[in-house]
Each structure stands twice: as structure tokens, then as C-alpha cells.
């Protein structure tokens, strides 16, 4: 392994948490080759050296963005959304009945389909939440993905992936060869750029946090670190949704327990104690 590739691996892991197998140079070339050309550099190595030399924040965002996986679709893992509708929202409407406030965080929201799917479910539940303040915060590290999410414009292929036809007719309208999400759904969501490697203490507490199908790209220490901070951002009786293949195992902190509800959904039940979770998987997933 050459020295600059080692530095590249360290750089990406420190900035984004993503762990790249440095021996997969073809993968690095495929992801960064077009970016090097757009910056008029003759190789990925010279592009990376330029980033090291200048610290250009725009180049850094584009550099990291090239390695992020933005695979998503509407109502991904349908069972989760069924649980949110049939169990989580009824429970939260009772638990938060006096406060009349609900906060949801879609972390690693990619191009917005997950956040908009939640907004559609909430729209169906407005009889239950009439008069409530409902906030959906949707965040991602990818500048490119967030730009698409904020625009709310989707191709025929994208709306055909998981989106029921009745939702398409109710919440979208034609915009040329694409579909535009309705303004009443866009207004429910605040999109922000946030890095899961950074502190998100300032975001406050949430009743439901979704962090799905992203932690598998991190190594075990990074997963533990992020999960610990995610649970600290939950209300004491809050819910955490991971990917369907991911599992949360809380430690034996006195007075604190985690209950699995299926479909990667977990409920935190504790007093003042904070969880120190560990993401359990068969093996560390690396790109």
C-alpha cells in the first residue's frame, strides 16, 4: 500500500467515519477519477495532495461525497413504517398528549425519500395529531444528496420504488419528466448538513430517531461511539430505528432497558440513565 493511499484512508475515516479497504484501489479510482478530471488533475493522487495542501472546503465536500452511498427509496422496509403508524404514533400521542409536540430525526437521510415517507404517514395521522407541533429534522453529510432532497424532484424510476400509487397521486404533481413533492410535505421537514462523526448535542432531544443502513459502513468503535450519542439524543421513552439487519444491544445500566419491536426498531425505557449501546453484526462491513 502506498503512503498516500494510507493517508487517504485515514483522512476519510477521520472526516466521515467511512472505512475504505486501501487494497481496493480500483474502487478509489472509480469514485475519485471523474472528480480529478473535473478539477483538471491528472490523477487521484494529485487531487488528494491538492486537498491536503489547500484544505479547500468545497473540494473536501466533493471528495467525501464521492465515497458516500446514497441508496434509498420510499417506504424502505415497509414493516418499519407499518409499526410507526400502528404502534409508535399511537403510543407517542398518549405519552406526549399534554405537550402536543413531536420531534423526529432522520439521520443519513440521503436524497429525502425516508423523510418524505414519514411526512406522508404523519399526513394520514393528522386527526390524531391535530394542533400538534411536529418537527422532522433530516440530515446528511452529502451536499449532493441534500440538494436533491430539498428540491423534492424524483424520476419515474424513483417514485416507482416503494411508493404506493395513491400516495403518488395525492402528494406529487408532474414537473416535466419528473415528479414534484407537494409543498405541504416539504414544509414539514428541515434539511441540514450534519456529520454523524461530529457532536449533535445542539440538536436537542427526539422522540424518534432513524439511522438506518449507514452504520454498517463504519468500524465497530465508530459504530459504538455514534450509537452512544444517538441514544443520548433520545427522550427517555424514545424510539430508535436502525436497518433491518442491524441490532442494538444495550448494556446493563441500572434502570435502563431496550426493547426490540422488530424491523430494526428499538424502544428505550429508562429513567435518567443513558444507554451505552453496541451495534452487533456478524462482521465489520467495509467498502
Chain segment 185-236, per-residue pLDDT in tens: 999 999 999 999 999 999 999 999 999 998 888 888 888 889 889 988 999 8
The pLDDT tens digits of the residues spanning 28-47 come to 889 899 999 999 999 999 99
pLDDT tens digits for range 100-129: 999 999 999 999 999 999 999 999 998 899
Burial status of residue 275 (CB atoms within 10 A of its CB: 0-12, 13-18, 19 or more): buried
pLDDT tens digits for 233-259?
999 889 999 987 776 654 444 455 788
pLDDT of residue 1: 60
278 versus 170: which is more confidently predicted? 170
CATH 3.40.50.150, the chain: domain bounds: 78-280
End-to-end CA distance of the chain: 16
Residue 124 is placed in which grid cell?
394520514
Mean pLDDT, range 71-75, rounded to an integer = 94
Say if residue 78's pLDDT is above 60.
yes
Residue 154 class from Cβ within 10 Å (0-12 exposed, 13-18 middle, 19+ buried)? buried
Per-residue pLDDT at 105: 98
- Mean pLDDT over 171-176 rounds to 96
Q: What pLDDT digit, counting tens, does each position of 81-96 carry? A: 999 999 999 999 999 9
In CATH terms, the superfamily for domain 78-280 is Vaccinia Virus protein VP39 (3.40.50.150)
Total-model pTM: 0.86
How many CB atoms neighbour CB 271 within 10 A?
8
Amino acid at each position: 500500500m502506498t503512503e498516500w493511499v494510507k493517508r487517504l484512508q485515514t483522512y476519510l475515516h477521520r472526516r466521515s467515519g467511512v472505512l475504505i479497504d486501501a487494497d481496493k484501489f480500483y474502487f478509489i479510482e472509480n469514485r475519485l477519477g471523474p472528480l480529478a478530471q473535473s478539477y483538471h488533475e491528472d490523477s487521484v493522487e494529485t487531487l488528494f495532495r491538492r486537498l491536503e495542501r489547500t484544505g479547500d472546503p468545497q473540494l473536501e465536500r466533493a471528495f467525501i461525497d464521492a465515497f458516500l452511498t446514497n441508496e434509498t427509496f420510499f417506504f424502505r422496509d415497509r414493516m418499519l413504517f407499518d409499526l410507526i403508524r400502528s404502534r409508535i404514533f399511537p403510543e407517542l400521542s398518549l405519552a406526549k398528549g399534554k405537550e402536543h409536540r413531536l420531534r423526529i430525526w432522520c439521520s443519513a437521510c440521503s436524497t429525502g425519500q425516508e423523510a418524505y415517507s414519514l411526512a406522508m404517514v404523519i399526513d394520514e395521522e393528522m386527526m390524531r395529531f391535530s394542533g400538534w407541533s411536529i418537527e422532522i429534522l433530516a440530515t446528511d453529510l452529502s451536499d449532493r444528496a441534500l440538494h436533491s432532497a430539498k428540491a423534492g424532484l424524483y424520476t419515474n424510476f424513483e417514485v416507482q420504488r416503494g411508493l404506493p400509487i395513491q400516495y403518488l397521486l395525492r402528494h406529487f404533481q408532474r414537473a416535466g419528466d419528473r415528479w414534484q413533492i407537494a409543498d405541504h410535505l416539504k414544509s414539514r421537514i428541515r434539511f441540514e448538513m450534519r456529520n454523524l462523526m461530529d457532536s449533535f448535542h445542539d440538536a436537542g432531544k427526539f422522540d424518534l430517531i432513524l439511522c438506518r443502513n449507514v452504520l454498517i459502513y463504519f468500524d465497530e468503535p465508530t459504530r459504538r461511539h455514534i450509537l452512544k450519542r444517538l441514544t443520548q439524543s433520545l427522550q427517555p421513552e424514545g424510539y430508535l430505528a436502525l436497518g433491518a439487519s442491524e441490532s442494538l444491544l444495550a448494556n446493563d445500566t441500572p434502570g435502563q432497558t431496550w426493547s426490540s419491536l422488530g424491523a430494526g426498531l428499538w424502544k428505550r425505557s429508562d429513567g435518567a440513565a443513558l444507554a451505552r449501546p453496541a451495534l452487533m453484526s456478524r462482521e465489520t462491513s467495509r467498502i
